[in-house]
Amino acid sequence: MIAFPNCKINLGLSIIQKRADGFHELETVFYPVALNDMVEVIHNNDHSNPVIFTSTGIPVPGDETQNLCVKAYHLLKKDFPNIPAVKIHLHKHIPMGAGLGGGSSNGTAVLKIINDQFNLGLNNVQLINYAAQLGSDCPFFVFEKACVAKGRGEILEPFNCDLSNYQIVLIHPGIHISTAVAFSMITPHAKQKSIASIVSQPIETWKSALINDFEAPIINAHSIIGTLKNKLYDSGAIYASMSGSGSSLFGIFPKQMTLSKTLFGAQIRVDIV
């Protein structure tokens, strides 16, 4: 069975306080964007290894046992021991360490595939519970529609936000941002106005009001990100921001505008969706 998990962007991101469990209390609006990876899960007749993981596309570094696709399999296998051995293949297109949630999307896709392929009968509430055990962003990819996220990102409420009349430009400058390092750069604080209330305003007001708390310190450390954000506005974006803890940026443009990837430099990856 094959799935094409998409990425997300953050419309605003407030880090409100550090919690006793070491996580941070936050608020953001997750919005799904149609930039996709591909995940395939098939039976593996060699039962000596319960899960074999392979990948193509963008190289996936690190110990494969720590990959969220593999972790998703073992998470379900623990509660459903009759799940057979599988092969998981990931074709990676969404940049990693970029604030787009690609790894979270992949892991959640494996949960959903295994649930369907092996008739586990899990409903969305149960899938969300499993996804939350994989990572803070993962439950969003069960919803697959705009959501206000609170807590550490796992408390989700569907939110009325429709950007289908716009086009979104994603820019990845080729910089990997460590989430832990990004959190160490900011001072959590309560905000006067919620992210949800700002996103409910006309999009033309977002530029002056909708803020990602990670953006200023990350731009201070990597000036190219600030340069690219300015380039998005210079090119006609109604709103532009960094996504998550970076380093990807996005710009929201009128649907009818003709955009060129070459505006942002030949060495910069640009996706128009």
Domains and CATH numbers, the chain: 2-158 (3.30.230.10), 166-272 (3.30.70.890)
Chain-centroid distance of CA 57 in Å reads: 18
Write down the residue that tokens 């796992």 correspond to: 154
The whole-number average pLDDT for the span 167-180 is 90
Residue 92's DSSP bridge partners are 57
Tell me which residues are annotated as active site. Answer: 8, 137
Of 72, 93, 236, 115, nearest to 169 (Cα)?
Answer: 236
pLDDT at 55: 96
What the block records as the tokens of 271 is 């996706």
The whole-number average pLDDT for the span 146-151 is 94
The whole-number average pLDDT for the span 70-93 is 97
End-to-end CA distance of the chain: 25
Q: Grade residue 35 by pLDDT with cuts at 50, 70 and 90.
A: very high
User: For the whole prediction, is pTM greater than 0.85?
Assistant: yes
> What is the overall mean pLDDT for the chain?
93
Q: Grade residue 221 by pLDDT with cuts at 50, 70 and 90.
A: very high
pLDDT at 153 over 90: no
Residues above pLDDT 70, as percent of the chain: 100
pLDDT at 21: 81
The whole-number average pLDDT for the span 93-103 is 92
pLDDT at 3 over 80: yes
The whole-number average pLDDT for the span 24-43 is 95
Of 130, 15, 16, nearest to 73 (Cα)?
Answer: 130
pLDDT at 181: 85
pLDDT at 152 over 90: no
Q: Which helix or strand (DSSP H or E) is residue 198 part of? A: helix 195-199
The whole-number average pLDDT for the span 110-125 is 97
The whole-number average pLDDT for the span 133-158 is 91
pLDDT at 266 over 70: no
Higher pLDDT, 39 or 183: 39
174 Cβ neighbours under 8 A, 6+ residues apart: 247, 267, 268, 269
pLDDT at 184: 86
**Cα–Cα dist 131/72, whole Å:** 8
